[in-house]
Amino acid sequence: MSKQQPVIFDIGWNACINCGACIAICPQEAGFVSPFDTIAVDRPCDIACLLCEQICPVDTIRHRPAVAEVTPAGAVGR
Ligand code: SF4
Ligand code: SF4
């Protein structure tokens, strides 16, 4: 239960002020940066400390599980 699940991020681009706080606090390697100077949004983060989400001053980072949920055949979520 305590093992972190990989997450992937959505960022509200209209709200982001490109402050760089999410990048500054992130323990990931420098390559984990999007073309918009935010946390990468196109690949899963398996550290999932969520510090980036917590530090964002405009609260515009949202994480979601990066792994597809295994659902019974025919039970398509949403
Ligand atoms: S969850 Fe942690 S390791 Fe992953 S991108 Fe955010 S700050 Fe970096
Ligand atoms: S911390 Fe938030 S406002 Fe700052 S660059 Fe990252 S996403 Fe944008």
Q: Which ligand is nearest to the CA of 16?
A: 2
| Alpha-carbon distances of 19 from 30, 32, 39, 50, 52, rounded to whole Å | 16, 16, 11, 17, 12
pLDDT tens figures, 7-55: 999 999 999 999 999 999 999 988 899 999 999 999 999 999 999 999 9
Cα of 45 to ligand 2 centre, how many Å?
16
Instruction: Report the b/e string of 16-46 with b at 16+ CB within 10 A.
Output: beeeebbbeebeeeeebbbeeebbbeeeebe
Which class in CATH covers the domain with range 1-68?
Answer: alpha beta
How far away, in angstroms, is 8 Cα from ligand 1 center?
9
- Which atom of ligand 2 is nearest the CA belonging to 11? 7
CA of 60 to the centre of ligand 1 (A): 14
In whole angstroms, what is the distance from residue 28 CA to residue 44 CA?
A: 11
The pLDDT of residue 31:
85
